[in-house]
Every structure is written in structure tokens, then in C-alpha cells.
Amino acid sequence: MDFLELCRRRQSCRDFADRQVEHDKLVNCLEAARLAPSGCNAQPWSFVVVEDPKVVPQVAKTTMQLGINEYIAGAKAFVVVLEEHAVLMPKIRPILDSQYFAKGDLGAAVLSICLAAEDQGLGTCILGIYDREKLGQILNIPEYKQFGGVIAVGYPASDKVRPKARKTIDEIARFI
């Protein structure tokens, strides 16, 4: 499928099928993230991929906060995104904080994972609410590490694409 069609099909999966995700498909998602652009090519990311059927439910439970995200119990894998220290170019280091570009870089990596998953027939859901302390304990992530997000991964229970409610180009862009 072409790129715009891939973007149109990508959605936050809210209903996962009872089907394991193949390891090589998760590796392909990480390869896409590895190739994502980053400021000064700093690549300020690392990933913890959770595919062990005994650990996946524990991770899912950490995302079920405030009475939401119950559907995540159906996910068959997770990609936990960690923000790593960015090493900027020597000319830039004196004027910018080392993490100046990191949030945008992580966003590019996360989107790359989600698009690669969609391209392989997988569904994803980017989660911002999760118990960081408990997740760190389960995955043996040091307390000083900064979380960049959690992505639930699995096969969608349906191939139906929901209509997207998005602003128009005229609402978000100004051409000069």
C-alpha cells in the first residue's frame, strides 16, 4: 500500500485478537524505529520489547489506570520506549540541553514502530498512562531512566478502519 494509505489505516487498536505476534514482526518494527530521524543523529532511544506470555499481562495491568484502558488486556506484546542521553554535535552542545530534540526524536521512533506494525497487519495503541514505578520493577528498568511511552501491539480483532476525525489542512497549515 502507498504511504498515505498506510497513514489512513493506522489507528489506535481498541480490540485485539487472541493471536500471538511473531517475533520477526516485532524486530521489523524496531528496525523501522532504528531508522527514524533524530537531531544530530543522537538516537536517544532504547526499547524493551515484552512478548513473554507470562509478562505481557503484568505490563498490561500497569496501563489500566483511572478506570480506562481495559481493552489493553488483549494485547499480545508491548514496546516500552526509553529516553536515552543524547549526544549532540560539538557546535550545538554549548547552546542546547542534551535532550533538546529528544521528545521529537522519540515521537518519530514511536510513529515508525506504529506504521511498521500496521504495514505488517498488526494493530498498536500508544499509551501515555501507566504506572511507571511498577512497570520499571516488572521489567527491571532503573529508576533514573525516563520513559518515553508504551505501545501495545497485537493483531486487531477486526480489519475495519474507523473514520478519522481530523482537522482540515486549512485549519492546521498556512502556505506562504
pLDDT score recorded for residue 95: 80
| Residue 121 confidence (pLDDT) above 90 | yes
* Gap between the Cα atoms of 56 and 75, Å rounded: 8
* Reported confidence tier of residue 19, pLDDT bands at 50, 70, 90: very high
Q: φ, ψ for residue 65 (rounded to 5)?
A: -110, 155
Choose the CATH number for 3-158 among 3.30.160.250, 3.90.1150.10, 3.40.109.10, 1.10.3720.10: 3.40.109.10
Question: Residue 58's pLDDT is what?
Answer: 98
Q: Is residue 39's pLDDT more than 90?
A: no
Per-residue pLDDT band for 1 (boundaries 50, 70, 90) equals confident
Q: Model-level pTM?
A: 0.94
When pLDDT is cut at 50, 70 and 90, the band that residue 102 belongs to is: confident
Q: Decide if pLDDT at 14 tops 90.
A: yes
- Residue 7's CB is within 10 A of a number of other CB atoms, namely 13
Residue 97 has pLDDT above 90, yes or no: no
Report whether 161 contacts 8 (CB < 8 A). yes
